[in-house]
C-alpha cells in the first residue's frame, strides 16, 4: 500500500509542479490554446504518459469562462487571450501507468502579472480564493472514517450557501473517487451513502461563484485516509 501511495503522490506532484510552472509563463496576450499545450507538454516531460480524462491533460478557462462547468466530452479550449487583469482556472489530469493525478487551481493576474493570494487587490477574486481555502479546511475538520459521500455533499453545500456562494458544478457534485476507469467513479453527491473511507482516494473540487457574477473559482486536491485521519495526497 505504501508503494501505491508513493505512485499516486508522484503523479499528483506532476500536476502540482505544472501549476507552478504555469504561473511563470501566464501573461497578457497569451492564448488559452497555447497555455493548454504548454501545460500538457510539461506534464509529459515530468513523467506523465497520458491524460486520463477524455485524453485532455489541461482544461483551461479565463475571465467569464471560469463559471463554465462542462464534461470532458463537450470541452473545447477557446481561442481566448489573457488580459492584464484576469482570472484563469487550470484543471489537470495526468496519469502514468493508469495512476491518476487530479489537481486544479484558479490563478489571478493583476497589472499583467500573476498575483499571490494575499496581495490580490480585487476583493471579489480574493474572497473567492479564500472561500475555496475555507471549504478545504472544513473538509479536513468534518470528515471522519464513517462520513458518507452524501453527508459531505450536504455539509459543504450548506456552507457554500451560508457564505453567499453557489455551486457551479454541472452535476451538482463536489468531487469523485480516484479509480482506474473513469466510468467507475463515485461522486460526492446526493444519494451516495457509501463511506468516503471505502475508497482509496477521492478528489475534493468545489467549483463556486457568487450569484450573478461572471467569475468562478476552483481548487482541487486528492485526499485519502492515513491512520484514520483525512490528509491531502
DSSP for residue 108: E
Distance between CA atoms of residues 74 and 171, nearest Å = 14
- The number of distinct structural domains making up the chain is 1
Q: Which of 170, 167, 166, 168 is nearest to 70 (CA)?
A: 170
Counting DSSP H helices and E strands in the chain, the numbers are 4, 13
Q: What is the pLDDT of residue 66?
A: 98
Burial of residue 93 (CB within 10 Å: 0-12, 13-18, 19+) is buried
CATH of the domain at 96: 3.90.230.10
Q: What is the pLDDT of residue 4?
A: 74
Output the tens digit of pLDDT for each of the chain's 233 residues.
666 766 999 999 999 999 999 999 999 999 999 999 999 999 999 999 999 999 999 999 999 999 999 888 889 999 999 999 999 999 999 999 999 999 999 999 999 999 999 999 999 999 999 999 999 999 999 999 999 999 999 999 999 999 999 999 988 899 999 999 888 999 999 999 999 999 999 999 999 999 999 999 999 999 999 999 999 99
Which structural domain range is residue 35 located in? 2-232
Q: What is the percentage of the chain residues whose pLDDT exceeds 90?
A: 92
> For 93, how many CA atoms within 13 A lie in the half-sphere containing its CB?
16
Determine the Cα–Cα distance for residues 24 and 35; give it in Å rounded to an integer: 11
pLDDT of residue 6: 67
Cα three-residue angle 133-60-28, rounded to 5 degrees: 95
Task: Describe the strand order of the beta sheet including 202-204 as a list of residue ranges.
Answer: 202-204, 221-226, 229-232
C-alpha cell at 17: 509542479
Amino acid at each position: 500500500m505504501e508503494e501505491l501511495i508513493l505512485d499516486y503522490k508522484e503523479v499528483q506532484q506532476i500536476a502540482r509542479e505544472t501549476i507552478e510552472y504555469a504561473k511563470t509563463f501566464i501573461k497578457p496576450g497569451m492564448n488559452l490554446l497555447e497555455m493548454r499545450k504548454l501545460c500538457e507538454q510539461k506534464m509529459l516531460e515530468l513523467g506523465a504518459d497520458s491524460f486520463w480524462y477524455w485524453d485532455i491533460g489541461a482544461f483551461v478557462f479565463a475571465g467569464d469562462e471560469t463559471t463554465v462547468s462542462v464534461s470532458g466530452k463537450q470541452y473545447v479550449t477557446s481561442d481566448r487571450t489573457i488580459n492584464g487583469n484576469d482570472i484563469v482556472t487550470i484543471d489537470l489530469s495526468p496519469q502514468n501507468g493508469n495512476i491518476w493525478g487530479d489537481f486544479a487551481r484558479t490563478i489571478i493576474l493583476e497589472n499583467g502579472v500573476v498575483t499571490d493570494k494575499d496581495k490580490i487587490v480585487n476583493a471579489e477574486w480574493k474572497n473567492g480564493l479564500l472561500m475555496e481555502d475555507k471549504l478545504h479546511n472544513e473538509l479536513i475538520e468534518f470528515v471522519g472514517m464513517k462520513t458518507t459521500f452524501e453527508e459531505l455533499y450536504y455539509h459543504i453545500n450548506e456552507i457554500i450557501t451560508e457564505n453567499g456562494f453557489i455551486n457551479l458544478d454541472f452535476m451538482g457534485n463536489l468531487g469523485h473517487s480516484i479509480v482506474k476507469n473513469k466510468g467507475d467513479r463515485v461522486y460526492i453527491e446526493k444519494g451516495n451513502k457509501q463511506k468516503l473511507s471505502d475508497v482509496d482516494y477521492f478528489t475534493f473540487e468545489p467549483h463556486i461563484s457568487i450569484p450573478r457574477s461572471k467569475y468562478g473559482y476552483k481548487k482541487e486536491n486528492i485526499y485519502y485516509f492515513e491512520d484514520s485521519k483525512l490528509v491531502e495526497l
